[in-house]
């Protein structure tokens, strides 16, 4: 008998709790973000019924129609690249957190759009810890100068950092990436206008979330282990 989405959600949530406790952390310190890309609202509803309240989307055009289709107490996270021409639409939605602010230009766009709307936007800064050319995010080399500028922008609530580890079986490499992100957060916390909220580490996906939890992740992004593979999209 195949496991349901609700069953898989509960299994992953239990795994997160077990891993957190095994490394001396409180289970509630780690939030499970169920990544719903290309899956319909009916699938998301199953995870919701199993206790899911945090959901992540990669694409704005998929995120926006799903928000009104699900209960109001869902917390929506944008985890994929955000194009500057879609910033206004995202800010006008009930988005909980943008994980993928990966350039100074995007941070400025969000800041000034938020200022015009008289609202503060919660964001994470995406860091390309691995240095892979295929990945988005601030490089560690320019990090200091960028952070000093972003921290001064208006209408931004900078809540922490996000990264994507290399897709590899090398657990030492994966762990080093997560450890480096935690080090950056801890090092620069005192430079933020509001250090207390600069606390999140969004890191860890289906293949590496257990390592991420051991290295301090507060948000893990799990998709295929809950919803299965992506359905075919017909054009």
pLDDT tens-digit map of 44-96: 999 999 999 999 999 999 999 999 999 999 999 999 999 999 999 999 999 99
In a domain, 235, yes or no: no
pLDDT at 232 over 70: no
Q: 144 lies in which domain range?
A: 5-227
pLDDT tens-digit map of 139-173: 877 888 888 899 899 999 999 999 999 999 999 99
CB proximity list for 169: less than 8 A, separation 6 or greater? none
For the chain, what is the domain count?
A: 1
Q: What are phi and psi of 230, to 5 degrees?
A: -70, 135
Count of residues for the chain?
A: 235
Dmax (CA) for the chain in angstroms is 55
In a domain, 129, yes or no: yes
Angle between helices 41-49 and 5-22 in degrees, nearest 10: 50
Q: Rounding to the nearest 10 degrees, give the CA dihedral for residues 16, 22, 24, 29.
A: 0
The pLDDT, as a whole number, for residue 9 is 98
In a domain, 134, yes or no: yes
* CATH code, domain with 49: 3.20.20.10
In a domain, 84, yes or no: yes
In a domain, 234, yes or no: no
In a domain, 233, yes or no: no
pTM across the whole model: 0.94
Angle between helices 143-150 and 104-117 in degrees, nearest 10: 10
Coil, strand or helix: which one is 126?
strand
In a domain, 208, yes or no: yes
pLDDT tens-digit map of 101-134: 999 999 999 999 999 999 999 999 999 988 777 7
The pLDDT, as a whole number, for residue 8 is 97
Q: Which two tokens stand for residue 35?
A: 């990544």
The pLDDT, as a whole number, for residue 101 is 97
In a domain, 181, yes or no: yes
């Amino acid at each position: 008998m195949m496991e349901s989405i609700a069953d898989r959600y509960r299994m992953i949530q239990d795994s997160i709790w077990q891993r957190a406790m095994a490394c001396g952390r409180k289970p509630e310190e780690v939030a499970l973000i169920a990544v719903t890309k290309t899956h319909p609202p009916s699938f998301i509803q199953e995870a919701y019924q199993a206790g899911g309240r945090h959901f992540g989307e990669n694409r704005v055009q998929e995120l926006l129609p799903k928000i009104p289709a699900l209960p109001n107490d869902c917390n929506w996270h944008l985890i994929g690249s955000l194009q500057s021409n879609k910033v206004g639409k995202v800010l006008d939605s009930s988005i909980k957190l943008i994980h993928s602010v990966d350039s100074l230009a995007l941070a400025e766009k969000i800041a000034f759009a938020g200022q015009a709307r008289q609202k503060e936007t919660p964001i994470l800064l995406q860091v390309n810890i691995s240095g892979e050319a295929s990945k988005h995010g601030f490089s560690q080399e320019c990090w200091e100068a960028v952070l000093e500028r972003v921290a001064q922008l208006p209408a931004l609530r900078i809540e922490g950092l996000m990264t994507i580890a290399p897709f590899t079986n090398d657990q030492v490499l994966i762990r080093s990436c997560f450890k480096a992100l935690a080090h950056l957060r801890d090092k620069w916390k005192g430079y933020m206008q509001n250090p207390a909220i600069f606390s999140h580490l969004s890191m860890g996906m289906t293949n590496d979330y257990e390592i991420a939890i051991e290295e301090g992740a507060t948000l893990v992004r799990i998709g295929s282990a809950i919803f299965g593979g992506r359905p075919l999209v017909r054009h």
